[in-house]
Chain A
Amino acid sequence: NAGVMQNPRHLVRRRGQEARLRCSPMKGHSHVYWYRQLPEEGLKFMVYLQKENIIDESGMPKERFSAEFPKEGPSILRIQQVVRGDSAAYFCASSPLERGFGQFFGPGTRLTVL
Chain B
Amino acid sequence: GENVEQHPSTLSVQEGDSAVIKCTYSDSASNYFPWYKQELGKRPQLIIDIRSNVGEKKDQRIAVTLNKTAKHFSLHITETQPEDSAVYFCAAGGGATNKLIFGTGTLLAVQP
A residues apposed to B, CB below 8 Å: 33, 35, 41-45, 48, 55-56, 58-59, 91, 98-108
Contact = CB atoms under 8 A, between A and B. Distances in A.
B98 interface: yes
Contacts, number: 64
A35 to B, nearest CB: 8
Contact of A55 (B46, B91, B98): B98
A6 B74 CA distance: 31
Interface stretch (B13-21, B60-68, B78-86, B102-110): B102-110
A93 B49 CA distance: 15
Contact of A107 (B43, B49, B89, B103): B43
Contact of B43 (A42, A99, A106): A106
A41 to B, nearest CB: 7
**For B46, B91, B100, B102, which residue has the most chain A Cβ atoms within 10 angstroms?**
B100
15 contacts: A33-B99, A33-B100, A42-B105, A43-B89, A43-B102, A91-B44, A99-B98, A100-B32, A100-B98, A101-B49, A101-B93, A101-B94, A102-B34, A103-B34, A105-B43
A42 B93 contact: no
B95 A99 contact: yes
Given A33-B100, A100-B94, A100-B97, 19 more contacts: A42-B104, A42-B105, A48-B98, A56-B98, A56-B99, A59-B99, A99-B95, A99-B98, A100-B100, A101-B93, A102-B34, A102-B46, A103-B34, A103-B46, A105-B36, A105-B43, A105-B44, A105-B45, A106-B43
Contacts of A100: 32, 93-94, 97-100
Interface residues of B, number: 23
B75 interface: no
Contacts of B99: 33, 45, 48, 56, 58-59, 100
Most B CB within 10 A of own CB, among A33, A55, A105:
A105
